Amino acid sequence: MSAKLVGSFPPQPDRVWCAVPHPRLPLVATASTDRIVRIYSLPDFSLISNIEGGHRRSIRSVAWKPNTKGESVLATASFDSTTGIWHKLDGAADSRTNNSEEGAPLNSEEREEDEEWRFAVVLDGHDSEVKSVAWSAGGSFLATCSRDKTVWIWEEMEGDNYETVAVLQEHSQDVKIVAWHPEEELLASASYDDTIRLYREDADDWICCAVLAGHGSTVWDVSFENAGSQSRLASASDDQTVKIWHRKPKVQQEVMPRQPSIIKQADDQLEDWEEQSCLPKAHSRTIYSIDWSKRTGLIATASGDGQIVVYREEELIEHGDANEGTSSKRKEWRVIAQVTSAHGVYEINSVAWCSKWSTQGARMDEELLISAGDDGVVNVFELTI
């Protein structure tokens, strides 16, 4: 298999930190050093909007809120230590590829209004750069993390108000990324302290329910599998490895009668996660980004070595002793595609899976890979056999 470049969005003047596809529409949002969020149309590679003026420093990451109806909501995390929430009513501009032939843009004023992004709220609280922002699967919680070593969880209240429901100070260093489980209200964070931590709500408090240690350097990114309660977690690190972690089934423990109920409660929430496998080594520099396809189960990684690598978990049947006729099934991750110099000589900061869209604006079965690099370019790749 190979991954073929199918197109690029108009280049930006500076480093693009990440490019994230919209959950429902053929759009991609980028976070950039030049403090502008750009919204691109995926089918025709055009720039639709620039969202400016909300941040005083680099925008490090963006996240689309899931399950919104009739409007799009975007969260932006910035080095200026704030997180922004932006709203826009879904309008004609998002599906303009439907009638791009007719062209006939609305009169410019109407159109401008149509495309306007409203800066709804700024979330203050972190002491230094906000590195990552993520919405929970249902969209009710927002998580942010920062160089100030904390992870914050926010809950949306009525009227553009967000309430801080937790400030988690478990990491001993800079927190690089936050990511939510695809179904459960389980949050993962990864850090410069080389660990990954998982959190869930226990009564009224959010607690750290697992520590995943094993990487030899900064963990830059994590991504959950889309497999319900069986979902595993993949992590990418400066130690140039990718690890897969899984939750061990709970062992029913005997209830100790003397234990105070408050401790017992916390114990119930603890989870046992362990390293299941390490993906075949393919990168020679820091791995900055990883994305586990929600649809195909493929994993893609992007690195400072300029490569994008795609991995697939394959089932192997091992024949044991011929006399006994035993055979066992084993799963193994294999590299199935590798793009060298995916952004020329530049480093790649993010990679994400995304649906392919027809030029008529219909979602197709195939998936694309979207990558963002230090060259200011956002590339789109397609896997071909």
CB 57, min distance to other proteins, A: 5
Q: Side chain identity at 82, as an amino acid letter? A: T
**Residue placing its CB nearer to other proteins in the complex, 60 or 96:** 60
Q: Which of 42, 44, 48, 94 is nearest to 68 (CA)?
A: 94
* Strand ranges (E), 219-326: 219-224, 233-237, 242-247, 273-278, 287-292, 299-303, 308-319
Q: Which residues contact 64 (CB under 8 A, 6 or more apart)?
A: 20, 21, 22, 23, 29, 72, 73, 74, 135
CB 5, min distance to other proteins, A: 14
Residues 201, 246 contacting (CB under 8 angstroms)? no
Q: Which residues contact 93 (CB under 8 A, 6 or more apart)?
A: 48, 49, 111, 114, 115
Q: Which of 127, 156, 121, 128 is nearest to 141 (CA)?
A: 156
**Residue placing its CB nearer to other proteins in the complex, 281 or 331:** 281
CB 158, min distance to other proteins, A: 34
CA 245, CA 234: separation in Å to the nearest integer? 6
CB 310, min distance to other proteins, A: 17
**Residue placing its CB nearer to other proteins in the complex, 82 or 97:** 82
Instruction: Measure the CA angle with vertex 178, ends 173 and 179; round to 5°.
Output: 150
Residues 357, 2 contacting (CB under 8 angstroms)? no
**Residue placing its CB nearer to other proteins in the complex, 96 or 131:** 131
Measured CA to CA in angstroms, residue 77 lies from 61, 185, 311, 365, 374 at distances of 5, 21, 29, 31, 18
**Residue placing its CB nearer to other proteins in the complex, 26 or 306:** 306
CB 235, min distance to other proteins, A: 17
**Residue placing its CB nearer to other proteins in the complex, 337 or 354:** 337
CB 61, min distance to other proteins, A: 11
Q: Which DSSP letter does residue 97 get? A: G
CB 278, min distance to other proteins, A: 22
**Residue placing its CB nearer to other proteins in the complex, 18 or 198:** 18
Site of tokens 């230094």: 128
**Residue placing its CB nearer to other proteins in the complex, 169 or 217:** 217
Q: Any bridge partners for residue 2, and if so which? A: 384
Residue ranges in contact with other proteins by CB under 8 A? 15, 33, 57-58, 60, 79, 128-129, 131, 147, 174, 176, 192, 217-218, 238, 285-286, 304-306, 340-341, 344-347, 374-375
CB 322, min distance to other proteins, A: 42
